[in-house]
Structure 1
Amino acid sequence: MRQIVRTTKALADENRIRILGVLSGRELCVCQLIALLCLAPSTVSKHLSILKNARLIDSRKQGRWMYYRLAGQRVSRANAEVTAWLLRSVSETDRFLQDSQRIEEILKIDPEILCSQQNRSGSCETGS
């Protein structure tokens, strides 16, 4: 029962749903998610923590970068089904389509440069 509550709470926020949407089929670093969401790094980290605690996403560290992706092999059947339903449900929304276009632009920017820009300006602007 606790896992169900964690999962439903994790899905009760538009930004966390947006994160799941852009992670579909790819892995992204925190800087890329910050640029997409235009939220403070601490806020994005909190959203990622909630999603990870609900076992909806996995992470890996590579050097100084932390990368996130949808939960893989270890995901429960219930979480796999709810994630698939969620992605089908939002795939045609305006926000999802905008996020898909925006993340493609963000992916063209080297993460080192993107993170440097965020640290220097404190802004989510990516110059694209």
Structure 2
Amino acid sequence: MQRLLDFFKILSDETRLRIILLLWNKSLCVCELCNILDLSQPKVSRHLAKLRDSGIVKDSRQGQWIFYNLDLEDEVRKNAIEDIIKNIGKYPILYGDSEKFRKRTVDYKVLCKKIESKGESFMNIKILGAGCDKCSKLEENVKEALKELKIEASVEKVEDLKSIMAYGVMTTPALVVDEKVKAVGRILSKDEIKKYL
């Protein structure tokens, strides 16, 4: 029963539903999904990680690219998606996605280079602190969270006191994502960090 409830919770999120329906057609890389959905790479990657953790999506590496595809062995899940696909014309956003997928002409390698050139695939993360054990643990958790979400980001340690105070931070360690202070004075768990990525 819980498995069924979890599946419908997944479907209740618009972005995840859109991703699932696109992957129904074929395996896609993050860049292709970003292009069709018109969303940033970190956001799409975060939703893909949720789908992967729930067992709905699998990933596989082809050279330097990671592709995602549906894993719908459960007949109830499969039938639910099929019913939505059959009636996709009733839902403008979903239908629009399917049309963009059908009419796409740009190779995924070109899309990936385009996204990278715009800097969309890289977020900037800073760990503020004087190099204490807590700071090192926060850095470790950040890197593990990024790895699990398959998000590329620069991770920088800021130990200079003046630079730390410039963020208005008085207690360390602190986490800064794209120049916004997200947490101060404690070690965030991987799951907590993922919410900010």
Provide the TM-score with structure 2 as the length reference.
0.54
Q: Which residue of 2 aligns with 1:115?
A: 112
Which of 70, 76, 79 is the equivalent residue of 2:77? 79
Q: Which moved more, 1:94-103 or 1:10-19?
A: 94-103
Q: Aligned-pair distance for 1:77?
A: 2.3
The superposition leaves residues 21-50 of structure 1 with CA deviations (integer Å, 9 ceiling, x where unpaired) of 222231111100011112221110111122
- Of Structure 1 and Structure 2, which has the larger fraction of its residues in strand? 2
Runs of 4+ in 1 over 4 A off after TM superposition: none
Give the corresponding residue for 2:177: none
What is residue 9 of structure 1 aligned with on the other side?
9
- Looking at CA atoms only, which structure, 1 or 2, has the larger radius of gyration? 2
* 1:50-69 aligned within 5 A: 50-69=50-69
Aligned partner of residue 15 in structure 1, secondary structure: helix
In the other structure, the counterpart of 1:96 is: 94
Deviation of 1:69 (Å): 1.8
With normalisation by structure 1, the TM-score equals 0.79
Aligned residues: 120
Please give the alpha-carbon distance, in whole angstroms, between the structure 1 residues aligned to 2:60 and 2:89: 26
* Larger RCO (CA under 8 A, 6+ residues apart): 1
Contact 1:6-1:53 within 8 A present in 2 as well: no
Structure 2 gap ranges (5+): 121-197
The one-letter amino acid of 2:118's match is S
Deviation at 1:54, TM superposition (A): 2.4
Structure 1 position 18 matched with structure 2 position 23? no
Higher helix share: 1
Is 2:42 the partner of 1:42? yes
Q: Residues of 1 paired with 2:34 and 2:6: CA distance?
A: 23
| C-alpha RMSD of matched pairs (Å) | 2.0
Checking the alignment, whether the CA contact within 8 Å between 1:60 and 1:67 is kept in structure 2 is yes
> What residue in structure 2 maps to residue 126 of structure 1?
none
Task: Measure how far apart 1:6 and its partner are.
Answer: 2.4
> Percent identity at matched positions?
27
